[in-house]
A and B are shown apart, each in its own frame.
Chain A
Amino acid sequence: MCDVLWGVLLTKPAEAILVPKMMMLVLALAGTVAFAIRAGAAPTVTDFTLKNGLEVVVIPDHRAPVVTHMIWYKVGAADETPGKSGLAHFLEHLMFKGTEKNPGDTFSQDVAEIGGQENAFTSSDYTGFFQRVPREHLKEMMAFEADRMTGLVLTDDVVRPELNVVLEEQNMRVANNPVARLGEQMDAALYLNHPYGRPVIGWRHEIEQLDRNDALAFYRRFYTPNNAIVVVAGDVTADEVKADAEETYGKVAPRAEIGPRNRPKEPVQEAPRTVTLADSRIEQPSVQRNYLVPSETTAKPGESEALDVLAHVLGSGANSRLYRTLVVDKGLALNAGATYSGTALDYGKLGVYGVPKPGVTLHEVEDGIDAVLADVIARGIPADELDRAKNRLIADAVYAQDNQATLARWYGAAIACGETVDMVRAWPDQIRAVTAAAVQEAARQWLDRRRSVTGYLVKSLQPEEKRT
Chain B
Amino acid sequence: MKAIVQAIVQAVAPALWGPRAMVAIMMPFLALAGSSAPALATTIERVVSPGGIEAWLVHEPAVPLIAVDFVFAGGAAQDPPDKAGTASLVAALLDEGAGDLDSKAFHDRLERKAIELAFQAERDNVRGSLRTLVENRDEAFDYLRLALTVPRFDPADVEINRAQILSVLRRATTSPTDIASQRWWETAFAGHPYGRPVNGTLESMPNITIDDLKTYTHRVLARDNLKIAIVGDIDAETVKTMLDRVFGALPGKPELTPIAAASPQGLGRRIVVSLDVPQTVVEFGGAGIARKDPDFMAAYIVNHILGGGSLSSRLYQEVREKRGLVYSVYDSLLWLNHTAVFIGTTATRADRTGETLDLIEKEIHRFADNGPTADEFAKAKAYLNASFALNLDTSSKVASLLVQLQLDDLGIDYIARRPAMIDAVTLDDAKRVAKRLFDGGLLVTVVGKGLAATSTTAN
Is the CB–CB distance between A26 and B8 below 8 Å?
A: yes
Report yes or no: A6 in contact with B17, Cβ–Cβ below 8 A: yes
**CB of B86 within 8 Å of the partner chain:** no
Q: Which of A19, A27, A398, A403 contacts B396 (CB under 8 A)?
A: A403
Residues in B whose Cβ lies below 8 Å from that of A7: 18-19
Q: Which chain A residue has the least Cβ–Cβ distance from B28?
A: A16
| Known contacts A12-B308, A284-B167; A168 and B16 CB within 8 A of each other | no
Binding-face segment, A108-116, A258-266, A416-424: A108-116
B281: nearest chain-A partner, CB-CB? A176
Smallest CB gap from A36: residue in B = B16
> Which residues does chain B contribute within 8 Å of A36, judged by CB atoms?
16
A132 to B388, CA, bound (A): 11
Cβ-neighbour of A392 out of B40, B114, B390 (below 8 A): B114
- Partner of A115 from B161, B277, B349, B385 at Cβ < 8 Å: B385
In the complex, which range does the number of interface residues on chain B fall in? 35 or more
The reply to whether B65 and A17 form a contact with Cβ atoms under 8 Å apart is no
B4 within 8 A of A: yes
B4–A21 touching, CB < 8 Å: yes
Residues from chain B with a CB closer than 8 A to the CB of A66 are 389-390, 392-393
* Chain B positions within 8 Å of A173 at CB level: 13-14, 18
CB < 8 Å: which of A115, A169, A358, A402 contacts B395? A402
Task: Check B220 for interface membership: any CB of A closer than 8 A.
Answer: no
B207 within 8 A of A: no
Is there contact, CB below 8 Å, between A116 and B387?
Answer: yes
B389 touches A113 (CB 8 A): no
Number of interface residues, chain A, beta carbon within 8 A:
104
Mask: chain B, 130-173; 1 = CB below 8 Å from A; 0 = not: 01010000000000000000000000100011011101101101
- Least CB distance, B266 to chain A, in whole angstroms: 24
Does A155 belong to the interface (CB within 8 Å)?
A: no
Report if A355 contacts B (CB, 8 A). yes
B277–A19 contact, CB under 8 A? no
- Identify 20 new A-B residue pairs, CB closer than 8 A, beyond the known A16-B127, A115-B387: A4-B15, A7-B18, A17-B28, A19-B4, A21-B161, A29-B11, A30-B13, A34-B16, A112-B383, A118-B311, A161-B323, A163-B324, A164-B324, A171-B347, A179-B11, A281-B276, A334-B164, A388-B111, A395-B133, A399-B114
B residues in contact (CB < 8 Å) with A = 1, 4-5, 7-8, 10-24, 27-31, 39-40, 60, 62-65, 67, 91-92, 95-96, 103-104, 107-108, 111-114, 116, 118-120, 127, 129, 131, 133, 156, 160-161, 163-165, 167-168, 170-171, 173-176, 275-279, 281, 308-312, 320-328, 330, 332, 347-349, 379, 382-397, 400-401, 404
CB-CB nearest 5 A-B residue pairs: A115-B386, A16-B28, A164-B324, A395-B114, A161-B324
10 of the cross-chain contacts (CB-CB < 8 Å) are A10-B19, A13-B20, A20-B118, A63-B393, A161-B324, A164-B324, A201-B14, A283-B171, A396-B114, A403-B393
